[in-house]
């Protein structure tokens, strides 16, 4: 599996003014998110220092701002190129950390843009489900192989993130958020799969996606339990906390 064109990180580099605007904007978002969600982040210390791919579950529009305030580091997000046709919206999205991608054949341009951003040393958010899904469990067939492929090509780890409570804050089809506890559980980084003769074999990408699915599925359950969206699988311990795999 290959992407067309050389890596060109300079296409997505932002100057100091853009970085300052990013942090000021996200300080405001953080205040609003914490006001509505009482956000709790578990495992923040597991985030690597260098570039990595942050791969959260996706159940609500509020997932993006929640993920954006989990760390003080500048995160990058993909956006459809057409959104930048409006200069004001495009500028706003760029301040947020977004960058335009052309959704071409097999998403080659999007994947190349992702590798470019990681080459700058910045973390990249890639929702492996691609779009918002519904339900209390992940389905393997919903996971795309893009994060695993980019991780292998850029040789960076994937960090899975379970999000609990976000559908209760902003359910699908609703526009006004309502207060509800949200918990983000950050998993251990998954090392990048090796290249073979400079290429990323389809088999390796598929196996890496399988591993991401298993770890992300467990983190999603854990986050839902901690957010109060479902009872703990092992019941409740004498101290009132969850038992079993969700008690880290």
3-state secondary structure of 150: helix
Residue ranges of the chain with per-residue pLDDT less than 50: 2-12, 105-106, 236-248
pLDDT number for residue 62: 92
pLDDT number for residue 3: 47
3-state secondary structure of 105: helix
Query: Could you tell me which residues are beta bridge partners of residue 110?
Result: none
Q: How far apart are CA 172 and CA 175, in angstroms?
A: 8
Q: How far apart are CA 33 and CA 184, in angstroms?
A: 13
pLDDT number for residue 157: 97
Question: Which pTM does this prediction carry?
Answer: 0.82
pLDDT number for residue 169: 94
Q: How many CB atoms lie within 10 A of CB 234?
A: 13
The third-level CATH classification (topology) of the domain covering 17-233 is Glycerol-3-phosphate (1)-acyltransferase (3.40.1130)
**Alpha-carbon separation of residue 165 from 19, 29, 59, 91, 178 (angstroms):** 30, 18, 9, 30, 11
Cβ–Cβ under 8 Å, residues 100 and 81: yes
User: What number of helices (H) and strands (E) belong to the chain?
Assistant: 7, 7
């Amino acid at each position: 599996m290959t992407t067309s064109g050389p890596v060109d990180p300079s296409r997505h580099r932002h100057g100091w003014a853009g970085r300052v605007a990013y942090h000021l904007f996200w300080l405001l978002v953080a205040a609003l998110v914490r006001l509505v969600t009482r956000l709790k982040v578990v495992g923040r210390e597991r985030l690597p220092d260098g570039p990595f791919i942050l791969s959260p579950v996706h159940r609500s529009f509020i997932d993006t701002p929640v993920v954006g305030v989990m760390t003080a580091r500048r995160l990058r997000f993909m956006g459809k190129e057409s959104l930048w046709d409006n200069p004001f919206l495009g500028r706003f999205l760029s301040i947020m950390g977004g960058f335009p991608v052309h959704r071409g054949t097999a998403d080659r341009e999007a994947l190349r843009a992702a590798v470019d951003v990681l080459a700058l040393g910045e973390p990249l958010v890639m929702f492996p489900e691609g779009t918002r899904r519904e339900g209390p469990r992940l389905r393997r067939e919903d996971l795309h192989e893009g994060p695993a492929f980019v991780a292998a090509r850029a040789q960076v780890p994937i960090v899975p993130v379970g999000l609990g409570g976000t559908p209760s804050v902003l359910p699908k089809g609703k526009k006004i958020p309502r207060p509800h506890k949200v918990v983000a559980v950050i998993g251990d980084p998954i090392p990048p799969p090796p290249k073979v003769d400079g290429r990323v074999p389809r088999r390796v990408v598929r196996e890496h996606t399988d591993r991401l699915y298993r770890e992300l599925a467990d983190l999603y359950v854990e986050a839902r339990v901690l957010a109060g969206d479902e009872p703990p699988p092992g019941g409740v311990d004498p101290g009132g906390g969850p038992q079993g795999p969700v008690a880290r």
